[in-house]
Chain A
Amino acid sequence: MTATFWQKVDKTGRNLAPFAVTVMMVLVGMIPVPVPGYPSVAPNLTLVSVYYWTIHRPDLMRPGVAFLIGLLQDFLVGGPLGVNALLLVVAQWAVLNQRRVFLASTFALLWFGFTLVMAGAVLLQWLAFSVLDAAALSILPALFQGLLTVAVFPAVGWLLIRVHRAFLNG
């Protein structure tokens, strides 16, 4: 039974969902919210999305895809090139190596796992910017961003599960 042309198009479109959703997360994470102090602690939705898709569909969230999304984020954010690309590639690699643990675990453990990934991301980001700016930057804003991201993880995760079920089941 060979798939027809349209079936192939449909399948490709559906397989693009993780990429498209993650790009959308990059853009949504950049919406200006007029709350004092928000811009510097806006949750890193992109990382949540990469984390989720690496666990559930590693075939659709490959290192190259993570790299491309990170590069796009670097371009849009206006920071030094390569920082977010590095961050997402390392995160994807770390999660992929422990994927079996995550896949078999409960939501609470998934959440805990993300906390670890986020902690690593905060450190890596701080290190990269400190080296690139040649200055000892304060890690506090990044830490608060990490906490906020961990706090919104369940909500974003729920949304991603909905997208996953809508586009990629069957």
Chain B
Amino acid sequence: MKPRSSGSVIRLAAPLRALAQRFSFLLLVLASIALMMVGKIESVSVDSARARVTDAFAPILDAISRPAATAARVVESAVELENAFDENQRLKAENARLLQWRQAALRLEAENNSLRSLLRVRPEPAVNYIAARVIATPGSSFVRTLVVTAGRRDGVRKGQAALAGAGLVGRVIEVGEWSSRVLLLTDINARIPVILSNTRQRSILAGDNSDQAKLLYLPPDSPIQVGERVVTSGDGGLFPPGLPVGVVTAVSERGVRVLPSADLSRVEHLRLVDFGLPGTDLDSSPEWK
């Protein structure tokens, strides 16, 4: 009798357990979908929670990203050693060219200063830079962000511009105590007010998760040419005007594509721009009233 009853218990328990398992699966799927909704609606509190979690893991990410960075540097220096001669030739030529540009820049600066003093232009607010190391990339095909080792206690604020080497990289979207997250300008959610350097055409640079970004809201007959430089316009007062962003690489029916000046896939260090008071540049100043 006993073995039979225990057998029936097992026979009864197995489907029950299966049911519980299936139920927990459904529950967790629903929880995931609910989280997606919550993330859309309650983005502020989700961001602060995210900043805390990122803060907690930042020391580990920092530690494990160091050997990778070192290995990359070793490989890179070996490659550089191989190309040292050619590189030296190239740099000498570039240096000669840059010295000419320096003369031009000095002359223009002096001229600019004298014209500014004539017009009594208000100087732009001083810009401070915060240096930070990149410790993590998302490892996802649909998200373009970086986690860096500088946070609130280093003076990082939400909305600051991030620069690396040749140009703009993105914008700070989330700040923890000692880490923060930068949304790259190629992410599908990135929108940056820019101006084209030659035509002075204002536009919005939008990412689409590819390596190049596109320009939005251009008038249909704007005379944009391939090779034109794109810089931040400073509209909205979030970014200082004139930060180099990229170069126009294609103009077609399907839109204008911009290649970022900074190599976004190999950013190791970046500078966050602490741009004094927001909105100071384009506010109508008292003198004009």
Chain A contacts to B: CB under 8 angstroms? 27-44, 63-64, 66-67, 70-72, 74-83, 85-86, 89-90, 93, 96, 125-126, 128-129, 132-133, 135, 137-138, 141-142, 144-145
Contact = CB atoms under 8 A, between A and B. Distances in A.
A90 B53 contact: no
Nearest to B174: A78
Contacts of B138: 30, 39, 77-79
Contact of B39 (A27, A82, A126): A82
Contacts of A129: 142
A36 B260 CA distance: 13
A144 B199 CA distance: 38
A137 B36 contact: no
Contacts of A125: 140-142
Interface residues of B, number: 57
A55 B247 CA distance: 50
A98 B127 CA distance: 59
A75 B36 contact: no
Contacts of B224: none
B24 A29 contact: no
Contact of B268 (A34, A43, A78, A138): A34
Nearest to A67: B28
B143 A77 contact: yes
Given A75-B50, A77-B143, A80-B40, 20 more contacts: A30-B61, A30-B139, A31-B65, A32-B135, A33-B72, A34-B76, A35-B266, A37-B211, A66-B28, A67-B31, A67-B32, A75-B49, A76-B147, A81-B35, A82-B36, A96-B21, A125-B141, A135-B188, A138-B209, A145-B141
A76 B76 CA distance: 28
B68 interface: yes
A35 B38 CA distance: 35
A80 B146 CA distance: 15
Given A27-B57, A63-B28, A71-B35, A42 B137 contact: yes
B203 interface: no
Interface string B83-120: 00000000000000000000000000000000000000
Contacts of A96: 21
Contact of A39 (B69, B188, B265): B265
Contacts of A93: 25
Contacts of A33: 68, 72
A56 to B, nearest CB: 18
Nearest to A40: B141
Contacts of A64: 24, 28
Interface string B122-162: 00000000000011111111111111000000000000000
Interface in B187-242: 188-189, 208-211
B142 A141 contact: yes
B212 to A, nearest CB: 12
29 contacts: A27-B57, A30-B138, A32-B137, A33-B68, A34-B69, A34-B266, A35-B265, A36-B263, A36-B265, A39-B137, A40-B140, A40-B209, A41-B141, A66-B28, A67-B31, A67-B32, A75-B49, A75-B54, A79-B138, A79-B142, A80-B36, A80-B40, A82-B31, A83-B32, A128-B36, A129-B142, A133-B189, A141-B209, A142-B141
B72 A34 contact: yes
A89 B25 contact: yes
B29 interface: yes
Contacts of B46: 81
